[in-house]
A = this chain, B = another copy of it.
Amino acid sequence: MIKSLFYLCVLALVSGMMFTGYAAEKEGKVKAPKMGKVRHVVAFKFKATASPEDIKKLVDSFADLKNKIPQIVTFETGTNHSPEKLNKGFTHGFLLTFKTEKDRDDYLVHPDHKAFGSSVGPLVDDVFVFDYTITK
């Protein structure tokens, strides 16, 4: 009986740990930025000739790199809605996170990134890239 209750305690301990992890994941809480990680900010200005279908396909294939290149820790994207009009004509933004500069470097030369890069040229008029290590 005591032995059973002991196992029950262990089960409760583990369940508690698992539940909390699951709840935090589900809630998708914004944590304090992790110092030292590398943010890779990219923005595209599309050519007038790029159709909405072309743009969607390109954005989807950029997002798909997350499934192909293990160095990408997070990927996110969205279109500009700043009312400040300081976006220099860039309309589509992307934010990738890497653990280290080395991982960013490995991403840049990864064959899947290279392939994606060569599909960008015909559709995009200009590209902005800004990488920083989170220092504050």
Instruction: List chain A positions with a Cβ less than 8 A from chain B.
Output: 1-2, 5-6, 8-10, 12-21, 24-25, 28-35, 37, 39-41, 43, 59, 63, 73-84, 86-88, 90, 93, 95, 97, 101, 105, 108, 127-136
Contact = CB atoms under 8 A, between A and B. Distances in A.
A74 B21 CA distance: 21
B130 A80 contact: yes
Contacts of A29: 31, 34
Contact of A77 (B5, B129, B135): B135
Contact of A135 (B10, B40, B78): B78
Given A41-B95, A77-B135, A79-B135, 17 more contacts: A5-B6, A9-B9, A9-B12, A13-B13, A14-B16, A17-B19, A21-B24, A25-B31, A39-B78, A39-B93, A39-B95, A63-B136, A76-B134, A80-B132, A82-B129, A88-B88, A128-B128
Nearest to A76: B33
A33 B82 CA distance: 20
B108 A84 contact: yes
13 contacts: A1-B2, A9-B9, A25-B32, A28-B31, A41-B93, A43-B130, A78-B133, A78-B134, A81-B101, A82-B129, A82-B130, A84-B108, A86-B129
